[in-house]
Amino acid sequence: MSDNIDIVIVDDHPLFREGVANTLRSERDIQIVGQGDSAETAIRLACELRPDIILLDIDIPGGGLHAAERIAAACAVKIVVLTVSAGEDHLVAALKVGARAYILKGVAARELVSILRAVAAGEVYVPPTLAASLLRELTGAVSLLRHPASPLDALTEREEQILERVATGLSAANHNSVPSFCSSFSTV
């Protein structure tokens, strides 16, 4: 096994893609083995070249998340999403389809290199700001699992009254405030 980290970069903005490639090429342990601009190209390059990492944007033609899902299913390549989207929904979706890291495009070059090395070594990365909000959301979900809301909390006041009366043995037919079905019709 080589000490180099082989990387494929997929982004539909050539200037950005080349900038990232040039930044990474300056590192002696990182080798750019391919570049692309669409989901179709990402899948093909990942399966043909088998890089250590594929670095892809969510908003590429064909869908970056679609590409990530297909790559995760077809080849043993670590997927790193590099995107402008700071939305939790995108983060969660990326992690669910197999991304090992979710990096925002405003990241400094030195930090990007550090994250890629960590992912190559088996670590996972989520931006601290997104990790904090994700943890808050998950903590709330865990709290709900531990203390689920009672279905009784959703009842209206009238539904509660009826349920209390049913629980004490009364039925709608034998309660004064609830007319019986037959009394609403007149006899002919």
pLDDT in tens, 125-145: 988 878 877 777 667 654 545
Q: State pTM to two decimals.
A: 0.71
CA–CA separation, 71 vs 77, rounded Å? Answer: 7
Measured from the Cβ of residue 50, the count of other Cβ atoms closer than 10 Å reads: 14
Q: What sign for the dihedral angle of Cα 62, 67, 69, 73?
A: positive
Of the candidate CATH numbers 3.40.50.2300, 3.30.1490.20, 3.40.50.880, 2.60.40.10, the domain formed by 5-141 belongs to 3.40.50.2300
Do residues 40 and 62 make contact, with C-beta atoms less than 8 angstroms apart? yes
Lowest mean pLDDT among 72-76, 81-85, 163-167, 179-183: 179-183
Tens of pLDDT along 55-83?
999 999 999 999 999 999 999 899 999 99
DSSP bridge partners of 36: 10
Judged by average pLDDT, the poorest of 12-16, 22-26, 125-129, 180-184 is 180-184
User: Which sequence spans correspond to the domains of the chain?
Assistant: 5-141, 151-184
| Dist. CA 116–CA 5, nearest whole Å | 9
What pLDDT band is residue 26 in, cutting at 50, 70 and 90? very high
Closest CA to 64 of 47, 86, 41: 41
Report the alpha-carbon distance of residue 106 to residue 152 in Å, rounded: 48
Res. 179: pLDDT tops 60: no
